[in-house]
Amino acid sequence: MACEITEIDVETIYLIQIRMINSTLLSGTDFPEWETLAFMELVSNESPTLSSDIMASTKDYFADGAWNSVTPTSTYLTLSMNISKLECHDAREYLCELAFKSNITSAVKKFEMNENFSAYVNPRVISLIARRDGLIVQGASNLSAAVSVTVGDELELNCTANIGSLPETVIRWNISSETSSAGEFDEYRRTAGTFDDGTVISDNQCGYIRTGSIQYKIKSSDVLRASYLVFECYVRVNKGPYGSFVTQTNPRFYFDVSKLF
């Protein structure tokens, strides 16, 4: 975090500091409480100082900066921390605050600039469960364990995933190509009434959990497939910090389709 001076009418700097918003509001008010992390002020020999609470923390904070009395606009303050020790609650609003004397009005002025830091969790699939005619299908997670199904069987697949930090993210599905090998997939185009995107639940960290499901009835055309009927679920994010993100280890279910005579 860097706190730099952008005001052009600075004659004398009294205080420059970096502050962090508290997670709770001041009792009886609608105004947030701010906690000072690092500061430089005119009466402290103009050296970067960490607050006592921050010095006692385990984040490995480090303050740096320069105080320039001749050219005040060259003054700056920075605060760094060990990224490996960051936690979800560190994603909050931070404030750069400057108190100075104006060389235009000679008045003491205060300037503030806020910035929000966000914490993101990469999506990942947790589990995939399949049911055939209401009964849980065991195994079937690889080609050698493919489960036999017949035309008319009702399949339901439930995929649970940590969908990351964007609660609107949904679980998507692929289906094996009808004309190619089981390793080639098409996006499964869900029709109304055959899927449920599930309810989003916070994981109490930086992400959300969702369970999505699809229902599929084995058709006579499935018998004509070049290979096994295979479904896989994945998480796709179309915005936010990820761009378009698809998990690299998508769980699959394999079904060997036969026709009853």
What's the first-to-final CA gap in the chain, in angstroms?
71
Q: What's the pLDDT at 165?
A: 81
Per the CB < 8 A criterion, the answer to whether 206 and 165 are in contact is yes
**For residue 145, what is the domain's CATH number?**
2.60.40.10
pTM of the predicted model as reported, rounded to 2 decimal places: 0.63
What's the average model confidence in pLDDT over 233-254?
Answer: 72
Q: What's the pLDDT at 96?
A: 93
Residue after which a domain boundary falls, among 116, 149, 173: 116
Per the CB < 8 A criterion, the answer to whether 233 and 187 are in contact is no
Average pLDDT score over the chain = 85
**Does 147 lie in the same domain as 81?**
no
pLDDT, tens only, 165-190: 888 888 999 999 877 665 688 999 99
**Does 131 lie in the same domain as 252?**
yes
Q: Binning pLDDT at 50, 70 and 90, where does residue 13 land?
A: very high
Q: What's the pLDDT at 26?
A: 41
Using DSSP's 3-state secondary structure scheme, residue 220 falls into: helix
The secondary structure of 58-80, three-state, reads CCCCEEEEECCCCCHHHCEEEEE
Q: What's the pLDDT at 248?
A: 61
Residue after which a domain boundary falls, among 116, 146, 174: 116
Amino acid at 171: I
**Does 153 lie in the same domain as 188?**
yes
Q: Six-digit token pair at 243? A: 């761009």
* Distance in angstroms (rounded) separating the CA atoms of residues 121 and 141: 26
What's the average model confidence in pLDDT over 154-161?
Answer: 96
Q: What's the pLDDT at 141?
A: 81
Domain extent, residue 141, equals: 124-258
* Distance in angstroms (rounded) separating the CA atoms of residues 83 and 60: 9
| CA separation, residue 257 to residues 3, 20, 170, 210, 222 (Å) | 64, 59, 29, 30, 7
pLDDT, tens only, 79-113: 998 877 877 778 788 999 999 999 999 999 998 98
Q: Six-digit token pair at 70? A: 């001749």
Residue after which a domain boundary falls, among 116, 141, 164: 116
